[in-house]
Each structure stands twice: as structure tokens, then as C-alpha cells.
Amino acid sequence: MVEDLNVPSITIPELRQNLTVTRTVTNVGPVNSVYIARVRAPDGVRVTVEPSILVFDSRTKKVEFRVTFHAKRMIQGRYTFGHLIWEDGYGDDDSSSHSVRIPLVVRTVIDYSSYAET
């Protein structure tokens, strides 16, 4: 599916209700690394990440995760922006911690087919 292309951003031009996108991440940091997801959801959208913690070790170099977008309100035609950050949280300053930022761009649309005719 086109939404599962493994690119470093996620764009959904027509979110009608719910949509799940799958990504794969490769560890390029220390062998034993743990990353925690932090999400700033686009306006009008709820975002969930599964799993919300990625664990890498000597055998696990690549991990797949899913990002699910849930439309909270239907705003026709407007793009909203947010991001997902995977952060290891190690170190006392920015130079010793690692993070990966994934931009999130979503446009919710009204799905008229879900409304009953009157």
C-alpha cells in the first residue's frame, strides 16, 4: 500500500475515519538502545503508536511500528501538522541523546457516505 512506503515522513491527504501506517526503523546508535515515542498530533486527529517503545539489541537491528490516525473532527480541506519523535532519553544534554523526528501531515475530509440520507 502506498501509505506503507518507508519514507521519513507520513502524509495522509484524505483521512476519513481511521488509517494505520506501518514503518520500519533501523538502529544506527548503540547496540543496546531503547527509544520511546512522543507524539504531537495534528489538530483534529488522535495519533497512537504501537509499540510505543522500541528495543534494539545485538540481534534486533530493525523494528517495525504502526502509527494509527483517528479523525476526531471533520475539517474539510485543511492540512494540519504534527510530529512523532523517537527519543532514547540518555544523556544530560542534547549531544549525548538520540532522537528521530517524523513529520506528520494530515488532511481530514468529510465522508458523506457515512451520513444517513434524510
Q: Is the pLDDT higher at 51 or at 30?
A: 51
Q: The domain containing residue 61 runs over which residues?
A: 7-110
Helices (H) and strands (E) in the chain, counts: 0, 8
The predicted pLDDT at position 112 comes to 63
Answer whether residue 38 is part of any domain.
yes
Answer whether residue 118 is part of any domain.
no
Task: Work out the percent of the chain whose per-residue pLDDT is above 70.
Answer: 80
Answer whether residue 115 is part of any domain.
no
Convert 35-70 to b/e letters by CB count within 10 Å (16 or more is b).
Answer: bebebebbebbebebeeeebebeeeeeebebebebe
Cα separation, 25 vs 36, in Å, equals: 13
Count of domains in the chain?
Answer: 1
Q: What are phi and psi of 109, to 5 degrees?
A: -130, 150
| Confidence label for 74 from pLDDT (cuts 50, 70 and 90) | low
Cα separation, 78 vs 58, in Å, equals: 44
Answer whether residue 84 is part of any domain.
yes
Answer whether residue 66 is part of any domain.
yes
Q: Give the pTM.
A: 0.82
Q: What CATH number does the domain containing 21 carry?
A: 2.60.40.2310
| Confidence label for 6 from pLDDT (cuts 50, 70 and 90) | low
Mean pLDDT computed over every residue of the chain: 84
Average pLDDT on 71-99 reads 77
Answer whether residue 54 is part of any domain.
yes
The predicted pLDDT at position 90 comes to 60
| Position 4 pLDDT exceeds 60 | no
